[in-house]
Structure 1
Amino acid sequence: MKYLLSLCFLLSACASTYEVTPAGHTIKTKDDYMEVIEKYSDQVRQYSGFYNTLDFQATLLNSTVAQAQLAQSSMLYQWDEKRFTEEKGKYENRLSKEAEVFLSFYTPERKNDDLFKDTTIWKIFLDVDGRRYEGKAKKLKLQLAEIEGLYPYHNRFYTPYSVIFPVPMRSIEGKPMKMTITGAVGSGVLNFQP
């Protein structure tokens, strides 16, 4: 009986899954954050025999992901209420103007990793609701630890990109989306479910 009570006490102690930021916001734990990232992410890996020719993973930055990232960043950087409100405004503004996807991109030939250049060999498209939008990739200049804090699947062998599409995320979220990356080296399709 004593062991049963000890077990019940131990299990009940593990029941809380929320943390509170210094600004007083209640956020989910890192595991809950990872669930959100995994839900709105997809990955493509292509091989030629044992040789990896193309590898990329991406996360759709919709309202749910933006809110989770806001809470995660608030926890990591211990933002006060003023900073939290400023950052929330930035997220809201971006969601109203454009659709954004974080892309972790790898190809073994360094010269082929040029998504950010005007003369790139790649094209990036977002297909949603019967329409196709062409994306523009921008290389992210953040520290590796910062990027890994928001996208744990990213590592130093991959190049981080922000891909922007000329359509407000607010108008397309909640619909299935397909992001295509295609070029002379290969192509792949990422599927994002609502």
Structure 2
Amino acid sequence: MTGFSKIISISFLLFTTACATNGKNKDTFNQDNFISTIEDHTQKSQKYSGFYNTFNARVTFLNSLVEEALLRKKQNYYQWSEDEFRKQREKIFQEQSTKSKIMLAFFTPERKDNNLDKPTSIWKVYL
């Protein structure tokens, strides 16, 4: 075997084995179900002034269904085992028993109006 064919053979071997994955958690995550769950628990508000966007706001209540969907996505991304998933799920549910969480996404193109965190903000958030 010549030097060039050895290099080609080794390169091919490395390329085919480096791209191999075990494929675990393939059936536990469905992107369409994830998006649907998030959208079902999200309220949105948009305001335009003519063609110009004044603001966009999205609020998602992080209840048990949303948290489960988020955990399934993390399980798929990080390739967690079922045991690791159960540990993370238990931790989230313990936290949910003592407090409620929401996720607020807010956008305004006007820099002067981007002051949601200031006491003098023109925006008011009510829970």
Q: Classify 1:51/1:76 alpha carbon distance in 2 versus 1 (closer, same or farther; 3 Å).
A: same
Query: How far does residue 39 in structure 1 lie from its aligned partner after superposition?
Result: 0.9
Q: Does 1:31 align with 2:32?
A: yes
Q: Does 1:21 align with 2:25?
A: yes
Q: Which has the higher helix share?
A: 2
Q: Which runs of 5+ in 1 are unaligned?
A: 1-18, 127-194
Q: Which has the higher strand share?
A: 1
In the other structure, the counterpart of 2:60 is 59
User: Aligned partners of 1:35, 1:67: CA distance in 2, in Å?
Assistant: 13
User: Aligned partners of 1:72, 1:85: CA distance in 2, in Å?
Assistant: 14
Identity of aligned residues (%): 35
User: Aligned partners of 2:120, 2:98: CA distance in 1, in Å?
Assistant: 25
Number of paired residues? Answer: 104
Q: Does 1:99 align with 2:103?
A: no
In the other structure, the counterpart of 1:87 is 88
Query: How far does residue 91 in structure 1 lie from its aligned partner after superposition?
Result: 1.3
Q: Does 1:69 align with 2:73?
A: no
Q: Which runs of 5+ in 2 are unaligned?
A: 1-22
Q: Classify 1:41/1:21 alpha carbon distance in 2 versus 1 (closer, same or farther; 3 Å).
A: same
In the other structure, the counterpart of 1:13 is none
Query: How far does residue 57 in structure 1 lie from its aligned partner after superposition?
Result: 1.6
User: Based on CA coordinates, which of the two structures has the bigger radius of gyration?
Assistant: 2
In the other structure, the counterpart of 1:119 is 119
Query: How far does residue 27 in structure 1 lie from its aligned partner after superposition?
Result: 2.2
User: Aligned partners of 2:63, 2:92: CA distance in 1, in Å?
Assistant: 10
Contact 2:43–2:58 under 8 Å retained in 1: yes
Q: CA RMSD in A?
A: 2.4
Q: Classify 1:52/1:21 alpha carbon distance in 2 versus 1 (closer, same or farther; 3 Å).
A: same
Query: How far does residue 88 in structure 1 lie from its aligned partner after superposition?
Result: 1.3
How big is each residue's C-alpha offset from its partner over 1:29-65, in whole Å with a ceiling of 9 and x where there is no partner?
1111111111111211101222211111222111111
User: Aligned partners of 1:90, 1:108: CA distance in 2, in Å?
Assistant: 38
How big is each residue's C-alpha offset from its partner over 1:142-174, in whole Å with a ceiling of 9 and x where there is no partner?
xxxxxxxxxxxxxxxxxxxxxxxxxxxxxxxxx
Q: Classify 1:101/1:107 alpha carbon distance in 2 versus 1 (closer, same or farther; 3 Å).
A: same
Q: TM-score, normalised by structure 1?
A: 0.47
User: Aligned partners of 1:100, 1:113: CA distance in 2, in Å?
Assistant: 22
